[in-house]
């Protein structure tokens, strides 16, 4: 595509002669004292597919500023979520249990949309090692995995207790969980990496399992590891483990089982850590 422009002699712009300016090199050089006329402007070539000049109406609008907020009311409820609360979040697969997370911050974009920054809790089956025998049904691991989600994915609130407080609950509700480990998602490492073990099976305490305490060594034992059923263990008046029964030269009587070991009980030398 070619354009040809012709100007009549009287339309040729007349430029003033440049003035002479002394040069730092001792000679003279030409330098215009007035600017050249602007290049002729052409009509919009929109028929060639070129975009039109931007106008204020076609320019992108500036986004409104984001700001931190103190609370968020869960959609369809009167429950208020604040920073530090633990929440249940809707999974992508509705057949799965809700995700559990701790709220780190809440942010609004000024247009009614709220984003929540969370720190995820992992269930034992979601960790690299998988679920093990001593993991409680309501046990969670506080991970180092952070994420930002829409606040609309929050389904409800829950409570993640410390291990010590969880063992003291009289009734465990559907919104009660507990955590005794922190978990590194990338490496699968746990903190702490050593915990007290009990019974001859040398397993950490599972708060869902009944255990009986020996009157002699004060260690705790699973009834099944002692050859008893749960029903038999609940009927016991006294209990001595096999080792203590031999030391006392008596048959293995059994004690009235107290509550299972709590996390604040001191670890006796007989109880090893692993």
Question: pLDDT higher for 236 or 10?
Answer: 236
Write the CATH number of the domain with boundaries 68-191. Answer: 2.30.30.490
C-beta separation of 130 from 124 below 8 A: yes
The 10s digit of each residue's pLDDT in 253-274 is 444 445 456 544 443 333 344 4
- Return d(Cα 21, Cα 32) in angstroms, integer: 10
Element (H, E) at 80: strand 80-82
Phi, psi of 245 (to 5 degrees): -65, -40
Residue boundaries of the structural domains of the chain = 68-191, 195-274
Average the pLDDT over each of 11-20, 90-99, 147-156 and give the range with the smallest value. Answer: 11-20
Q: Average pLDDT for residues 84-102, to the nearest whole number?
A: 95
- If pLDDT is split at 50, 70 and 90, which confidence band does 202 have? very high
Q: Please tell me the pTM assigned to this model.
A: 0.67
pLDDT digits (tens, 9 = 90+) for 158-193: 999 999 999 999 999 999 999 999 999 999 999 999
Tell me the two tokens of residue 115: 């984003």
Q: Are strands 212-213 and 190-191 parallel, antiparallel or unpaired?
A: unpaired
Q: Token match 């712009």: residue? A: 13
Mean pLDDT of 30-55: 44
Q: What is the CATH number of domain 195-274?
A: 3.30.40.10
At 31, the pLDDT band (50, 70, 90 cuts) reads very low
Q: What is the C-alpha R_g of the chain? A: 38
């Amino acid at each position: 595509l070619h354009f040809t422009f012709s100007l009549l002699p009287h339309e040729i712009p007349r430029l003033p002669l440049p003035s002479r300016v002394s040069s730092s090199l001792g000679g003279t050089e030409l330098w215009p004292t007035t600017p050249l006329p602007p290049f002729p402007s052409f009509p919009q070539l929109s028929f060639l597919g070129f975009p039109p000049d931007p106008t204020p109406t076609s320019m992108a609008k500036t986004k409104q500023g984001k700001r931190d907020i103190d609370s968020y009311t869960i959609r369809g409820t009167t429950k208020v979520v604040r920073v530090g609360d633990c929440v249940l979040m809707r999974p992508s697969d509705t057949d799965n249990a809700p995700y559990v997370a701790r709220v780190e911050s809440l942010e609004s974009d000024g247009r009614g949309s709220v984003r929540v920054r969370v720190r995820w809790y992992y269930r034992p089956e979601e960790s690299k090692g998988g679920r093990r025998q001593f993991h409680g049904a309501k046990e969670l691991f506080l991970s180092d995995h952070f994420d930002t989600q829409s606040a609309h994915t929050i389904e409800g609130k829950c409570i993640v207790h410390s291990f010590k407080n969880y063992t003291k609950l009289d009734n465990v509700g559907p919104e009660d969980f507990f955590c005794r480990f922190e978990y590194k998602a990338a490496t699968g490492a746990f903190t702490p990496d050593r915990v007290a073990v009990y019974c001859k099976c040398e397993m950490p305490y599972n708060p869902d399992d009944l255990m009986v305490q020996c009157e002699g060594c004060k260690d705790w034992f699973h009834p099944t590891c002692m050859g008893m059923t749960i029903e038999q263990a609940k009927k016991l008046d006294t209990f001595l483990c096999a080792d203590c029964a031999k030391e006392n030269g008596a048959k293995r009587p059994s004690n009235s089982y107290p509550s299972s070991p709590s996390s604040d009980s001191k670890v006796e030398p007989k109880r090893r850590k692993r």
